[in-house]
Amino acid sequence: MTLLALAAIVLYLIAAGLLARPLLGGAAAERLSIGIAAVAVLDHASILLGTHRGELDLHFFAALSLVACVMAALTVLVNLWRRITALGVIVFPLAALVLGADVLAAAATSPQPLDWQIKLHATLALFAFSVLFIAAVLAILLAIQERALHHHQFGGLLRALPPLTLTEALLFRLIGAGFVLLTLTLLTGILFVDNLFSQHLIHKTVLSIAAWIVFGVLLAGRRRYGWRGRHAVNLTLIGMVILLLAFFGSKLVLELILQRTP
């Protein structure tokens, strides 16, 4: 493992540890932790460029690492706007773990040359997944927050989250942005992928459309009926699980279990 990768992993973990201090009753250090995380994200991005030779690598761990880098960057941006330290406690260690796995696995793989159309399609897909994954984490935090308020538990977690209405508003903004990106992913797939219903793409296509429908129903329900709380959490998590199966389920089976090149 390179020194730069090790530094990024350590910085991610330090940032998560600092953000976790209020949850454990310690003093807050949000600004310092977000600054450290920002450096880790820049290191992570440079590692992606160097390790994968500046190409978009769609192998399992490489794609996960790109998603983790985008998620960490989004977490930094969110915390610059709204203090949601619990988000970083979850995302930053996950980014460190995935980065380590990617660096270790990169020696055994090499990125395949892709047309710009496929690169655009894949990039939109990975960004859509990243945004919606952050939304799913927020949905879990929202559910915990609602439960804590219902039971009058005003502990460290509530101090690490903004007011409930702001958490919910951010959740739906992220879902809206992710839905747009997922829509563009499906459109570019129809336009640019030669055989969208080939053997390795049929289930991805069907599951991606199913996730798109779930998130679309959630946004429509929010707009028309004011859905919130349990409706929002359940549909967000259902859509995210479907999307996880669509984007990474087949890669996990093909590359890690069946040992086949995608």
pLDDT at 27: 53
pLDDT tens, position by position, 243-261: 999 888 777 766 666 565 5
CA–CA separation, 109 and 99 (whole Å): 15
10 Å CB burial of residue 185 (0-12, 13-18, 19+) is buried
Find the mean pLDDT for residues 143-170: 75
Q: Which residue has the higher pLDDT, 193 or 60?
A: 60
What's the whole-model pTM score? Answer: 0.88
pLDDT at 80: 86
CA–CA separation, 219 and 175 (whole Å): 8
CA–CA separation, 27 and 258 (whole Å): 48
Rounded to the nearest 10 degrees, what angle do helices 230-244 and 202-225 cross at? 170
114 CB-side CA count, 13 A: 20
pLDDT at 255: 64
For residue 15, the SS3 value is helix
CA–CA separation, 67 and 122 (whole Å): 11
Q: Kindly tell me if the per-residue pLDDT of 125 is higher than 70.
A: yes
